[in-house]
Structure 1
Amino acid sequence: MTTDTKQDSTLDMLRFVFQRVLKKRWILVVNILALTVITLLQFVLPQIEQFIIDKVIPQKHVQLLFISVGLLLLAAVVLGLFNFLATYLMGVMSQNAITDLRTQLYDDILDQDTHFFESSKTGDLMVRLTSDVNNMQSLISANMLSMIGNIFTFVGVLGFILYKNWQMAVAVSLTFPLTFLIYRVFRDRIHNAFKRVRQSQSQMSNQMQNTLTEVDLIKSYTSEGYESQRFDHYALKNRDNMIDATKNQAIFSPLVDGVNFLGVAIVLLLGAMFVMKGSLTVGGLVAYLSYVGMLQSPISSFTRLLNQIQQALVSYGRIKEVTNVHPTIVNSANPLPMPELQVGIALKDVSFAFKGDPKRAKSDHAAISHVSFNIPFGQQTALVGHSGAGKSTLTRLIDRFYDVDAGDITFDGIPIKEIDLKQLRQNIAIVSQDIAIIDGTIRDNIQYGSPEANDDAIMAMAELADIKDFIQSLPEGLATQVGERGLKLSGGQRQRLAIARALLKDAQVVILDEATASLDNESEKTIQKALNNLLKERTSLVIAHRLSTIHNADQIVVLDAGKVVEIGKHEELLKAHGPYEKLYNAQFE
């Protein structure tokens, strides 16, 4: 990366962060005033020291000595109080800004399209939300904000020491270009080193996340050793990257300190000669050395902040990678409300392909090709076909997780893209084979999406889902914790919770995506009653794993390779001796 680009990126990063700081302008103003007082007190302290050395000590004026030392201590106490005020206010401002940033990033991630999550790694997103945001916090610190005051201090002190003794001022100024040369050399090295650190940390996080969510698979295949080796690889890679970054830091800091000591040595050498010649007092030399320290302080502070800036710059780039991605599935300019269905849903010559997604086997071919059929209001439409025929993809198009490439989907004649997205999804309830259970209570899971529902409504839906007796048998009832991903529940219990949640949602349209595929015959029979309650008087689309469960469907749509090959009722399709009959007979062979 070129120097100009990096400078532009740093300025962009500072604007990105400090626009959040400006939301609390009064804190920023008070902080700057506190830093101004701190700067003035730091300028006054050497003057008091010079006065004691040059005036009080030679005159042996004890009373004046006590007064001067008292003023020195008072100034130090006031300086400490203002340092406390500046640090505390900076902490408040920092936490406000970082919380705002983390919340915005979280909201931006939630707003992304389904494709974003299919192509992103969970562990990496977690690192961006935690470690990368934390790195940005270093930009809103007392040290960082004091740089603003230090700039004025640098200019003021440089003018003052030039006035006092221009020869020593010029001599110490010769060390500044050397400091910036060191900074330029190590800037890219440290930046690239921390970039590699962040990448390896994301790899470690992904490995941990995958391991913890698939622990049953790991144990059943006794692959603990294999997974341990994979984690060791990423951990060692992260260690090596961190050591490399630390090495650059370890070289950089002593070099800067060495240049500063060189400046002090030059001033001490020249100053001592001026004292010997009588053109400078000892107190003046002591004060001059203090001012040189104040002059070097902004440069030293800036170079010390280099590591934080480079880490923050890497994290800023990773955060912007998320915030710069804008969802494509959004509302139209003037979205229409979801209609109260009277006719139903119509798919008209719908085509769709997973473009450029290496995870999809059919990424170069249409997953859905010229599909047309109706889902009549208040009736049950079943969708059947071989695995990979496009059944689940169709359901995700109807819920607008994806947008069609061609054709259209309408609800009572209104194109899906013209319907308010939130209202559309609020009116569609999905129960799938992979049940989503949140880590909370039974109440939390049934109530999810319907937070206004009371316990009476929840238990009424639990009864329809045939899980009320189970809940009442538990000591804590609805307050029972289900565990992460519902691990404390059986498959059938998780399925019934999902059905109760869908019933409570009271959506116009219900989609069952192989909802009983993972259950045994006995469990499926007991849950079928709950499913019938869910589908009663609703417009429904059912993807069936077992064809025996859809005998009574109002119509059956048969898909093959993303195309509709048959439509009809169960008996009609069997008599036609087509693809449906082959599917049906294959299950009973």
Structure 2
Amino acid sequence: MSNKTEKTQTDGSLLEMFRFVFSKVLKKRWLLVLNILALTVITLLQFVMPQIEQFIIDKVIPQRNFQWLILAIVILLLTAVVLGVFNYISTYYMTIMSQNAITDLRNQLYEYLLKLDTTFFESSKTGDLMTRLTSDINNLQSLISANMLNMVGNLFTFIGVLALIFYINWQMALAVSLTFPLMFIVYRVFRVRIRTAFMNARRSQSRMSNQMQQTLTQIDLIKSFNSEDTEASRFDHFADTNRKDMITAGRNQAIFSPLIDGINTLGIAIVLALGAYFIIKGQLTVGALVAYLSYVAMVQSPIQAFTRLLNQLQQSLVSYGRIQSILQERPQVLNAADPKPFPQFSQGIVLDHVNFNYDAAKHPDSHDATLKDISFTIPYGKTTALVGRSGSGKTTITRLIDRFYDLKSGSITIDGLPIQSIDIASLRQNIAIVSQDIFIIDGSIRNNILYGRPTATDDEVWQVAKLADLDTFIQGLPDQLDTQVGERGVKLSGGQKQRLSIARALLKNAPIIILDEATASLDNQSEKAIQRALNNLLESRTSLVIAHRLSTIHDADQIIVLENGQVVEKGTHESLLKADGAYKKLYDAQFE
């Protein structure tokens, strides 16, 4: 993602982060209420236990009353049992609440990602996005845990017990309180250091994940160029950077935790010293000192718990910023305020003075203007072919028709209706694309073909398989349609993957078909068979064909020739050859 995004992705306060995460929890408030009640009981029981200890030391032992001793021990054990039961209730239902909230968040983020524009994905790294959907969301899950929710209860405990120890002995309470500013100073100093360290670690982890994703999905390229050592060295660099970042974060945490523990020990030492002094003076009992130490521990406990959670809080805050940076993205290709359904297609598609250029920041290698004043008509029920050298704008035109991008100026209309006014889902449902980039999902052959129309029957699947010259191949497989194709279709040849993508588009049964080098991966025999099937199919449909092999578009109703994003010629195959212009040069170059 952009440097600007990386700089701003950790913005946001702890309060904003908690508000964001707990908004998911409040969807099932009864779980939150149950957990708060359980934590309240736990806090009260923890408050009672020092009282029992003081009673045993100050009353039972001096009076040597074994009945009271047995009763006190039984009450202490029962309190421990009840405490254990409520700890179980709190932990179990907190897990349910946490998993529900995090699942909702992950689903929300995934659905939001899918709705973002093509432009966003062109400028984002897959490995980084995967890290945000997995590790970053997992970091937020720690915010909805028993330990984290205990912080809420501990805050009230801290206030209540602090008031109590001031009531019991204000001198010792004041002395202990003097250590709290020291803790605050240490926290303030190390908060920024730890957060920065984990921000760098998260960024380097994303780069490492992206490197893994790139290499594992391009393993054939790596092996064909013998670049295993190069890629291993590159990954080693990212992994070593992540190692150093994690060590830096760990070093800060290693310094921070002992400092906090040392300040707490100083507080206990002060209480012991003053307590011993007051016992010697007869102003305090031993049992009262033991209970007082327990209460001091209860005061220090929230501070210790918070400082222990600082590590996780800083990681969560970094992850929250990275997730927010995605949720702050806004798609640019949007439905109109009152979108229209796709029209009863009967006239054609008209491109009128279309101008378009890619965002220079996200497409630094693109020309300033990819399409310049493009005007032509794609007649209903006819086949229009786009030809031209690589980079002339052919594929860009098809992506504008499918509204992957919006025009800079000019218009594209379908039966006179501007495509910006047509509901995006309805528009794309009526356009089937077979691209030169073949996308195969990890699953069965049936699943891949049904991707075009999930409700289709097996008979319909076999019908389009036959039209795509794929039926004989499928029938020869042991599992036929249930044959697994593997990740990215690794078990299929290039031609088989292309035919599978053609069958998928045929099953969609859309009135507009875009073929972007659709027969590029086929041998001559398969190409001829599929071309015949496509010709029969396209008789009743409007088609836009991008062809590198000009021999495949001889029968096109019209051919549009593009150069540098401009239309330089229009006509049929025969008329363009006679014109002896750009098309004839391309044609002759292929058959020299």
Question: Same fold by TM (over 0.5)?
Answer: yes
Amino acid at match of 1:481: Q
Q: SS state of the match for residue 139, structure 1?
A: coil
Residue 340 of structure 2 corresponds to which residue in structure 1?
Answer: 336
- How far the C-alpha of 1:8 sits from its partner, in A, is 5.5
Q: What TM-score results when the alignment is normalised by the length of structure 1? A: 0.98
Shift of 1:358: 5.3
- The whole-number CA distance in structure 2 between the counterparts of 1:154 and 1:534 is 76
Among 410, 416, 419, the residue aligned to 2:419: 416
Counterpart residue identity of residue 120, structure 2: F
Paired residue type of 2:41: V
1:277 alignment partner in structure 2: 281
Aligned to 1:147: 151
Deviations 1:378-411 (A, max 9, x none): 1000111111110000000000001010000000
Aligned to 1:477: 480
Q: Distance in 1 between matches of 2:133 and 2:10?
A: 23
Counterpart for residue 123 of structure 2: 119
Match status 1:291 vs 2:316: no
1:429 and 1:505 in contact (8 A); partners too: yes
Partner of residue 510 from structure 1, selected from 499, 506, 513: 513
Which of 228, 233, 237 pairs up with 2:237?
Answer: 233
- Once residues 327 and 504 of structure 2 are traced to their aligned partners in structure 1, the CA distance between those partners, rounded to angstroms, is 32
Q: How far apart are the structure 2 equivalents of 1:531 and 1:61? A: 100
* Contact 1:499–1:530 (8 Å) recurs in 2: no
| Distance in structure 2 (CA, Å) of the matches to 1:50 and 1:416 | 80
Residue 469 of structure 1 aligns with an amino acid whose one-letter code is: T
Partner Cα distance (1:170, 1:129) in 2 = 48
**Matched residues in 1 for 2:251 and 2:72: separation?**
46
Q: Provide the rounded CA distance (Å) in 2 between the counterparts of 1:473 and 1:518.
A: 21
Cα 1:7–1:418 change in 2 (3 A) is closer
Q: 1:557-568, aligned counterparts within 5 Å?
A: 557-568=560-571
Q: Do the aligned partners of 1:428 and 1:511 also contact (CA within 8 Å) in 2?
A: yes
Query: Residue 546 of structure 1 aligns to which amino acid in structure 2?
Result: R
Taking the TM superposition and a 5 Å limit, the aligned residue runs for 1:24-103 are 24-103=28-107
Deviation at 1:533, TM superposition (A): 4.0
How far apart, in 2, do the equivalents of 1:6 and 1:347 lie? 44
Deviation readout 1:195-240 (Å, 9 max, x if unpaired): 0100110111111111011111111111111111101100110001
Residue of structure 2 equivalent to 1:347? 351
CA distance in 1, matches of 2:271, 2:181: 17
1:257 equivalent among 233, 256, 261: 261
Which of 214, 217, 230 aligns to 1:213? It is 217
Aligned partner of 1:432 in structure 2 is 435
Counterpart of 1:376, as a letter, is P
2:386 counterpart (383, 387, 404): 383
102-111 vs 520-529, which moves further: 520-529
Q: d(CA) in 1 for partners of 2:443 and 2:339?
A: 35
Aligned residue pairs: how many?
A: 584
Match of 1:536 among 539, 553, 577: 539
Aligned residue type for 1:21 = V
Pairwise CA distance, 1:6:
8.9
Where has structure 1 moved over 3 Å in runs of 4 or more?
5-8, 357-360
Q: Could you tell me how far apart the structure 1 residues matched to 2:12 and 2:425 are?
A: 39
Distance 2:124 2:535 in 1: 37
Check conservation: 2:10, 2:320, Cα contact below 8 A: no
Distance in 2 (CA, whole Å) between partners of 1:263 and 1:573 is 93
Q: What is the CA RMSD across the aligned residues, in angstroms? A: 1.3
Give the conservation status (yes or no) of the 8 Å contact 2:357–2:408. Answer: yes
Q: Which residue of 1 aligns with 2:522?
A: 519
- Once the two structures are TM-superposed, the CA of residue 457 in structure 1 deviates from its matched residue by 1.7
Q: What's 1:489 paired with? A: 492
Tell me the residue number matched to 2:4: none
> Which position in structure 1 is the counterpart of 2:13?
9
Contact 1:392 1:513 in 2 (8 A): yes
SS at match of 1:438: coil
Deviation of 1:360 (Å): 4.5
CA distance in 1, matches of 2:238, 2:491: 32
Per the alignment, residue 320 of structure 1 pairs with: 324
CA–CA distance in 2 between the matches of 1:362 and 1:305?
48
In the alignment, which residue of structure 1 is the partner of 2:582? 579
Letter in 1 for 2:117: D
TM-score by length of 2: 0.97
User: Distance in 2 between the 1:479 and 1:37 partners?
Assistant: 56
Q: What is the alpha-carbon distance in structure 1 between the residues aligned to residue 108 and residue 333 of structure 2?
A: 19
Alignment-derived partner of residue 224 in structure 1: 228
Q: Secondary structure at the match of 1:271?
A: helix
3-state SS of the aligned residue for 2:142? Answer: helix
Unaligned runs of 5+ in 2: 1-8
| Aligned-partner residue type, residue 326 of structure 1 | R
1:159 aligns with 2:156: no
